[in-house]
Structure formats: structure tokens, C-alpha cells
Structure 1
Amino acid sequence: MPEPGPSPLQSGLPAAAAHFGAHVLANALSHGLAPAQASAAEVAVPARPALPSPPVLPFGTAPAPEPVSVPGEGAAEVRQAGPALERIMRGPSGLGTAALHLAPYAEAAAPAAPVDALHIPGLYYHPVAEPDPALVAEVSRRIKAWALDEVELYPEDWEGQFDGFSTGRYMVACHPDAPTVDHLMIAARLMVAENAVDDMYCEDHGGSPIGLGGRLLLAHTALDPLHTTKEYHPQWAQSLHEDAPRRSYRSAMEYFVQQSTPAQADRFRHDMARLHLGYLAEGAWAQTDHMPEVWEYLVMRQFNNFRPCPTITDTVGGYELPTDLHALPAMQRVLALAGNVSTIVNDLYSYTKELASPGRHLNLPVVIAEREGLSDREGYLKAVEVHNELMHDFEAESAALAAACPVPSVLRFLRGVAVWVDGNHYWHQTNTYRYSLPDFW
């Protein structure tokens, strides 16, 4: 048997880093900079047109997620960060990286979990600081104005549910390095639009697996536009205004492409296609009343998950992770694990909400209990173990990639994804309007 070649981590990372370094040097020379000035050029954030909006609020400061211990039986596990992971959470350092350093977050004391939050004993997570209330209020105000005035997203009797989703708190917690409120609004619009498609096409606000593929295909063209003849183009363009999900996708994407690079926009379209494929798989299982094996369910959840949200962390942060570094197998694994662990968090916190909804909702505790012959409680507790293992894998893979490819944009992106994972958990844990926990303890 022939000897296997080097792993992607061995062969791809140095090559990608070298390619990026060559790009930085060439860019510096093209602007008349000496080689010694190249490191500063490497981290410069390109100027992008600002979206029209009210004046930007100043950001407050908030501590970053750090190791924390919760005493007592069933306490949350404590992060044991190695040097590489600590470096990710601390942010990049060295010549030319001042713009990426997040010192106000990294140097503050670790926050405690909110007293009135939901607590899943044994769940491995990292508490985050309460988001800046003024910033949350401003994002909340703007996203509601967008939903009502620009895209007519929901009828009047859904207002309470929209407010209860707490989009502003969600986005501020997940993107503490966003340079302006406009950048936070990029993520906020996309999050609300994705939730509208899920609710109105797939779930309990008129959703159905019947005809789902056709609806998703037409909605996807609001993100990835149709290129057709002059005769048929106006009909397609008009179709993007025909229902709330398409209106919200179209508008959110228009704002996104104003702040993103073409590569970032294409990356996002790819991840949204992944998401829609996952919706279709779950819808097909609902139509055939199929109870998947646990591994099959986890396959579906790797597509029907939160991945499009952390994948835009650089756009929201006002910088770009270069395409060749984003495409590394090691980076793709980090992003897949981040999406998977964040989505299982949703399965755990939405468990009782889904059980109380009409029909049978698939989530990890339900599938484990059904397929492995366990009680509801045992299935739920095993799902917590699955979450924890994936969380540890996510952190280990992030640390390995940071050590192997210590490019400033890579370090900042990894830290942004880790913070997004923590912020996503915080939103689920504190959103008692939407979620409650089973009485399994």
C-alpha cells in the first residue's frame, strides 16, 4: 500500500499562509510601501460604503468569555484553555495588529451567568457579559423599523413574538467586535430573514413540507439572483416582493452586499444553500414520517443549522478573512463544528417548546430516545453529552488551527466564531419568553 500523503493541515496551512503573505507584500509594494510596512497593510480594513441610517451609537465595553467555574452538583464545566486557544480569545498581537486587538473585552473579569437564566446542569458553555443596553435598544429599534416599514414582515398580531425574539440582544452578544451599528444590522437583518423563512415556509406560521422545495428555490434567488432574458426578468424581480420571506431575503441581501466583498457574499450564498438543503431533508422526513437514525439526524443538522451566522463574522467585524484561508479544510471543520454545536444548543433549549407544538418535531433528545430505546430524560441527558463533546472538538480544532496558521485575520476570525458560539448560547439561555426546560433534574 502506498504511503499516504501529508494531511491538509500539514500541506494546506503553510501554503495558504505563504500565499497570503505574498499577497500582502505585493499589495504593499503596489502602494509604494517598503517591505517593513507590509504588516500594517495586512490588517488594514478596506473602506466600504456606509448604509443610510441614524447616527451611530458609541459602543460600550463588555468582558469577553473567559474560564468560569459554577460550583455545586451539575455545574457547568470549566474551560481549560491551552496557550493557542487563549491566544485566540485574547486576540492577535504584534506589529500592525492594533486594529484587531480587542483588549477591552479580554482584560475584564469573567462574567457570571444571569441569575434568572435557564440552566442545563452539566452543559459545557461560557457565560458572556450582558450586552450594552443602549446598543441593544438601538439595534432593536432599527430592526423593528426595517421589519415593519421596509419589508412588511409580519401582521400586527405577531408583534409580541417579534419583540420576544430579542434580535438586538442576540446580535450584540454575538458580535462584540462590530465597529458600528450598521455592521450589527447586517447580521440582524439576515437573522430575522432566515427566521422568517423557517417559520413561514417550514414551521408553525403557515409552514409545510408540501411544496417546500419550490418555495425555497424561489426564495434562494433573492440571495443568488436569476440571470435570464429581458422578457422574463421583470416577472422574476416582481416575485421577490410577493411574500414576506422573499421580501426580507431580498432586502437583507441588498444591505449585505453593500458591506461585504464579492467573496464574502458568495460564501454566504453557499452556506444558505446548505441551510435550504437541510430544510428539504427534514421536510422530506416529515412527509414520509421517517424517524432518522441518530447519525442521520446529525447529518441533517449539519446543514439545517446556524452556520450562515458565524460564517459572516468577518463582514460584521469590518474586515475579510481571505478566500484561500476560509477554504482550508481545517477552517471548514471549525465552522462546521461551530454550526453543529450551536444548533444542538437550540435543540436542548427548544425541547419543551417543540413538544408542545402540533405534530412531531425532530430534535436530538427525541431522536436519541426513540432510536436508542432510552427514556425521555436519558435521551435529553445524552444529547447534552453530544453537545459537550462537539464543543470540546470545536475548541481543540480552533486552537490547532490558530497554532498552525497564526495569520492575524485567521486569529481574529477564530475568535469571532468562538464569541459567536458563546453569544448564541447566551441568547438561548436568557430568552425565557421563547424557551423553558424539562423537569429532568
Structure 2
Amino acid sequence: MPDPGLSSLPSGPAAAPARPPLPGPPSAPFGSAGSAPVEAPPAPAVPAAPVTDADLAPVPPESALERVLRGPSGLGTATLSLARRAEPPVPPAPLPAPPVPAAAPAGEAPAAPGTPIPGLYHHPVAEPDPARVAEVSRRIKEWAVDEVQAVPAEWEDQFDGFSVGRYMVACHPDAPTVDHLMAATRLMVAENAVDDVYCEDHGGSPVGLGSRLLLAHTALDHLHTTDEYAPAWRESLESDAPRRAYRSAMDYFCRLATPSQADRFRHDMARLHMGYLAEAAWAETDHVPEVWEYLAMRQFNNFRPCPTITDTVGGYELPADLHAQPAMQRVIALAGNATTIVNDLYSYTKELDSPGKHLNLPVVLAEREGLSAKEGYLKAVEVHNDLMHAFEAEAAALAATCPAPVVLRFLRGVAVWVDGNHYWHQTNTYRYSLPDFW
């Protein structure tokens, strides 16, 4: 595990007040916190339940604001769940103070408190349910290694260090079953396989990337062609690890998602692939974009596909007309942008230590605005904080103008995903360490 080397950092970095955690995910049938997981038969697929008039009925605006920004009991729980839960909910666990790392599931890097970036605006979260983390970690490695052969033996230590089980459980505490969590986890692993193998760490290259992404995208958005050529396309879906992972993850996701939710995800993945192509074009020409151009690229090459499926993973559906509202689209975009800058900041030293020139917001700020490396990094923290404040303000405004319970639950789900994403970056000291700027 890399040594973060953070002994000189302040002991009390600035953070936003904690949002009270949502009720924790049910522990049965995977054991109580701290106990060994117990094998359970796979739960049947539970499609998102239809939205009723009651779900769309308004609630008082003041209550809406509180629910989105402070998360009172009820939001994101069984009382608003639009799908039948497989297990009864349990009361929320209090936030540990100081945080105590959860026991590491077998094969996964141990959780560590990590050090938040000083001055970074964020909300602490409760430790994810260790029983669920263990079960998701076991299932996802089985899928990645054996079912789709996306992780060869020489990459297994990196896969374990990614701690994707802890990541997804932290981001989706209201998932009604482990099957729902697995839908998000497979997609996360598949997206990283495409990024690593096609774009970056494991043989990726900007040369020819458009063709590879287009063909991989047909695993998500199927080719409709003639009987003569369809077999060759189907065979191509098994031709490399990224396509196998995309095909399988999307098949599992569609068992839980409505057609509208599945199409929404495909759209967001097309956005992601367009962002990959912009970054690749700059790499081919050795171009450092203007700051605003970089932020435009990062609005597409970002985490948006992950929080946008929060309703599918939660077992309900935000109707398409509500999801498509410009105000909702702005909230989702701001959440994706803020969480992606978190990645730029926590992965900064990792990228500097890797071969080649990696564009991230601190690097672009330093080069385009004539700043030192430290000044560029600290300004990137300010940009992140501005995006976070805008996200929370826009979410609160939308909750006040459209206070339907299903809208409030979705907004809360996105906010929880934002918090869980920061938690994972902060605690993943296997992958990340902070620069010595403080």
C-alpha cells in the first residue's frame, strides 16, 4: 500500500457538516455488522415499480429543502421505496467519531480513514455496511475474473485495491437488495475496464480510440442490422474484455431497469465516450486546453453515468419527464462535475508518477493561468467547492419548486452518491495519496 506521507497535514481539515446518514442497508441475510457473510440464494430481479399519483404529490417546500440537504429520516427509506424490499430496514448507525476502519473483506484492500484534502468542501458519511461490502466484493470478483474474464491474474491486486465493493455500498445505502448493488458495481467495473484497456493504464492509446469505443458501445446500445451481418456483430461482443464486461453488465442492469432508465444510461455512456474522445484528441496533438475547455471535456468524461442510475439501484423510477427537466439536468451535471474534480484532486500524485503527460484540473490551471503546481492545485479545490455549492443550491431550489416525493428521493440519492464518492477517494490509500502542499 502506498505511503500517503501526510504527517504534516492539519489534523482538522475543513469539511461541511455531516448529513445524518440514511437508514443503513438491511443486514440479513448477509449477517450482522462485523460478522462473516452468509451465502444467500440470488434474489429474483425486481423491476422498478410504477410511479403513482401519491408519489408525485407535492410536500411542503421547507420540508423538501431539509430532506435534500440534511436527509431527515424517511427519505430514501422503505417509506418512500417504490419497490418491495427483500429484507426489513434497520435503524441508522451513528457516524463513528473518530472513524474506525471496517474489517477488509477477503481479497479487498482494507479500509483506511485517509486524510481529506484540506479545505475541500465535503460531507462525512457513515462506514458502509461491512457485510454488504464483503458480499458485493465476493460477487464482483467472481464476475470480473471468472464470468467475463476482465481481470487477468496479474491485475488482481489492483482490482482488490480498487475496493469497488466498499465504493458502491457507500454510494447506494438505500439499495433494497445486493442484486441492486451488483447492477451498479458491474457497470462501474465495466466502465473502468474500457478506460484502462482502451484509454489508459493497461495498453490504452488515443490512436484508433473512436473505433474501439464505437464497437464497445454496441454492447450497450445494440446493433440492429440484417440477418447476414448480425452473427458477426454478436461474436464481436466476446472479442475483448471491455466488450464482454459491457455486454454482461448491461444485460444484468436491464433486468432491474425500466426501458426508460436503460435508455437514459445509454445516453449518459455516449456522453462519457465523447469525453474520452476529446481527451484523446488533445493527447494526440499534445494540446493543453483552456481551463473552460478542460471543464467542458470533464462534463462529459466524468462520473455522471453512476449517480444518474441511483433510482434503478434504489428500486424505484424517476419518470422520464421529471428526469428531463432542465433544472434536474443541471443538478445531475453539477454533481457529475464536482465528483470528477474530486478524482482529479485525489489522483493528482498518482497521475504525476505515471508515464506521459496527464491532464487534470490542477495541471491545466497551472499551465494556462501561470500558476505554480501548488497554486494550481489549491485553485482546483476552490473550483470543486464552487461546483459543490452550486449543486446543493440548485438541488434545494428544484426541491422547493417540484417537491414530489420521488423527486426528493432522487435528489437525495444523487447527494448521497456525491458523498460516497468522496469517501471512497479519501479512504482508498491503496490508490491515492495527497501532494505535500500543506
Shorter-chain TM-score range: 0.7 to 0.9
Deviation per CA, 1:302-339: give whole Å up to 9, x if none: 00000000000000000000000000000000000010
- Distance across 1 between alignment mates of 2:193 and 2:185: 12
Query: 1:204, CA displacement in angstroms?
Result: 1.5
TM-score (norm 1): 0.80
In the alignment, which of 192, 196, 200 is matched to residue 195 of structure 1?
Answer: 192
- Distance across 1 between alignment mates of 2:262 and 2:80: 27
Kindly indicate whether the alpha-carbon contact (under 8 Å) linking 2:167 and 2:421 is maintained by their aligned counterparts in 1.
yes
- Distance across 1 between alignment mates of 2:424 and 2:15: 17
- Distance across 2 between alignment mates of 1:422 and 1:247: 30
Moved more, 334-343 or 114-123: 114-123
CA gap 1:426/1:112 in 2 versus in 1, 3 angstroms: farther
Matches for 1:362-381 after TM superposition, within 5 Å: 362-381=359-378
Query: 1:111, CA displacement in angstroms?
Result: 4.5
In the alignment, which of 270, 274, 279 is matched to residue 273 of structure 1?
Answer: 270
Deviation above 3 Å: which 4+ runs of structure 1?
A: 71-74, 77-85, 96-116
- Distance across 2 between alignment mates of 1:112 and 1:84: 29
Paired position in structure 2 for 1:393? 390
Q: Does 1:313 align with 2:310?
A: yes
Query: 1:75, CA displacement in angstroms?
Result: 2.2
Paired position in structure 2 for 1:76? 15
Deviation per CA, 1:131-179: give whole Å up to 9, x if none: 1111100000000000111100121110000000001000100000000
Paired position in structure 1 for 2:235? 238
In the alignment, which of 132, 135, 141 is matched to residue 135 of structure 1?
Answer: 132
CA gap 1:92/1:411 in 2 versus in 1, 3 angstroms: farther
Paired position in structure 1 for 2:288? 291
What secondary structure is seen at the aligned counterpart in 1 of 2:310?
helix
CA gap 1:439/1:131 in 2 versus in 1, 3 angstroms: same
Deviation per CA, 1:169-222: give whole Å up to 9, x if none: 001000000000000000000000000000100001010000000000000000
Matches for 1:160-309 after TM superposition, within 5 Å: 160-309=157-306
Query: 1:97, CA displacement in angstroms?
Result: 4.5
- Distance across 1 between alignment mates of 2:65 and 2:282: 39
Kindly indicate whether the alpha-carbon contact (under 8 Å) linking 2:64 and 2:408 is maintained by their aligned counterparts in 1.
no
In the alignment, which of 67, 72, 75 is matched to residue 90 of structure 1?
Answer: 72
Question: Which 5+ residue runs of structure 2 have no aligned equivalent?
Answer: 1-9, 21-61, 101-112
Kindly indicate whether the alpha-carbon contact (under 8 Å) linking 1:92 and 1:100 is maintained by their aligned counterparts in 2.
no
Kindly indicate whether the alpha-carbon contact (under 8 Å) linking 2:268 and 2:304 is maintained by their aligned counterparts in 1.
yes
Kindly indicate whether the alpha-carbon contact (under 8 Å) linking 1:200 and 1:245 is maintained by their aligned counterparts in 2.
yes
CA gap 1:97/1:79 in 2 versus in 1, 3 angstroms: closer
CA gap 1:252/1:280 in 2 versus in 1, 3 angstroms: same
Kindly indicate whether the alpha-carbon contact (under 8 Å) linking 2:318 and 2:407 is maintained by their aligned counterparts in 1.
yes
Kindly indicate whether the alpha-carbon contact (under 8 Å) linking 1:307 and 1:338 is maintained by their aligned counterparts in 2.
yes
Query: 1:370, CA displacement in angstroms?
Result: 0.5
Equivalent residue letter for 2:437: F
What secondary structure is seen at the aligned counterpart in 2 of 1:360?
coil
Paired position in structure 2 for 1:5? none
Question: Which 5+ residue runs of structure 1 have no aligned equivalent?
Answer: 1-70
Equivalent residue letter for 1:75: A
Paired position in structure 1 for 2:419? 422
CA gap 1:98/1:78 in 2 versus in 1, 3 angstroms: closer
TM-score (norm 2): 0.80
Equivalent residue letter for 1:86: E
Query: 1:255, CA displacement in angstroms?
Result: 0.4
Equivalent residue letter for 2:435: P
Kindly indicate whether the alpha-carbon contact (under 8 Å) linking 2:80 and 2:409 is maintained by their aligned counterparts in 1.
no
- Distance across 1 between alignment mates of 2:229 and 2:147: 25
What secondary structure is seen at the aligned counterpart in 1 of 2:362?
helix
Query: 1:257, CA displacement in angstroms?
Result: 0.6
What secondary structure is seen at the aligned counterpart in 1 of 2:136?
helix
Kindly indicate whether the alpha-carbon contact (under 8 Å) linking 2:80 and 2:405 is maintained by their aligned counterparts in 1.
no
Matches for 1:6-21 after TM superposition, within 5 Å: none
Kindly indicate whether the alpha-carbon contact (under 8 Å) linking 1:136 and 1:168 is maintained by their aligned counterparts in 2.
yes
Kindly indicate whether the alpha-carbon contact (under 8 Å) linking 1:111 and 1:128 is maintained by their aligned counterparts in 2.
no
Equivalent residue letter for 1:163: D
Paired position in structure 2 for 1:20? none
CA gap 1:401/1:105 in 2 versus in 1, 3 angstroms: farther
Deviation per CA, 1:5-64: give whole Å up to 9, x if none: xxxxxxxxxxxxxxxxxxxxxxxxxxxxxxxxxxxxxxxxxxxxxxxxxxxxxxxxxxxx
Kindly indicate whether the alpha-carbon contact (under 8 Å) linking 2:299 and 2:333 is maintained by their aligned counterparts in 1.
yes
What secondary structure is seen at the aligned counterpart in 1 of 2:375?
helix
Deviation per CA, 1:279-309: give whole Å up to 9, x if none: 0000000000000000000000000000000
- Distance across 1 between alignment mates of 2:349 and 2:163: 19
Higher relative contact order (CA 8 A, sep 6+): 2
What secondary structure is seen at the aligned counterpart in 2 of 1:305?
coil
CA gap 1:265/1:167 in 2 versus in 1, 3 angstroms: same
CA gap 1:277/1:138 in 2 versus in 1, 3 angstroms: same
CA gap 1:380/1:410 in 2 versus in 1, 3 angstroms: same
Q: CA-atom RMSD, angstroms?
A: 2.3
Kindly indicate whether the alpha-carbon contact (under 8 Å) linking 1:85 and 1:395 is maintained by their aligned counterparts in 2.
no
Kindly indicate whether the alpha-carbon contact (under 8 Å) linking 1:136 and 1:172 is maintained by their aligned counterparts in 2.
yes
Kindly indicate whether the alpha-carbon contact (under 8 Å) linking 2:311 and 2:317 is maintained by their aligned counterparts in 1.
yes
Paired position in structure 2 for 1:411? 408
